[in-house]
Amino acid sequence: MAGEPAPNPSNPRVKLQTSAGDIVVELFEKEAPVSVKNFLEYVKSGHYDGTIFHRVIKGFVIQGGGYDTAGRQKSTRAPIKLEVNYPTLKHWNGALSMARTMVRDSATAQFYICHGAQPGLDREYAVFGIVREGMPVVEKIATTPTDRQDKPKTDVSITKASVL
């Protein structure tokens, strides 16, 4: 993926075990410390275990972390500050970024993985990692049939998220 940072073995990594296969993400701790700390706290607390990818748009993003397998929204901690001051972090194919509302400092637990480069999101949403293993799984999820609200017709769940 052009322009993305080379793998850094000192950065934390998280494995997302999904019903479609495993995804391993590297987190950019130096460049996005607030977002990385926030994500790791949710991982360590078990928040993502048993959640679904509730928004899937082929050629755009797969989004998860906010709803359980029964479709109930999960409670979250307070929102974090938007981190977009590191200009080399881009929404490359496979970039991991914080989802938020229209309010800039509103990200909590929801995240998305880019399916294709999304330069229009740069400096609007906080990139804090990238997929290092499992892009075929991202592709599989991104091409899952969805309903009119972009929710997969068959749930794609995160069974376990763990720090490696």
Q: To 10 degrees, the CA torsion angle through 11, 17, 20, 22?
A: 40
Compute the distance between CA of residue 123 and CA of residue 125 in angstroms, rounded to an integer.
6
Residue-range domain boundaries for the chain: 13-163
User: Is the pLDDT score of 1 beyond 60?
Assistant: no
CB 131, CB 96: distance < 8 Å: yes
| Partner residues linked to 129 by β-bridges | 27, 96
Tens of pLDDT, residue by residue over 117-156, are: 999 999 999 999 999 999 999 999 999 999 999 999 999 9
CATH code of the domain occupying 13-163: 2.40.100.10
Instruction: Give this prediction's pTM.
Output: 0.96
User: Is the pLDDT score of 85 beyond 90?
Assistant: no
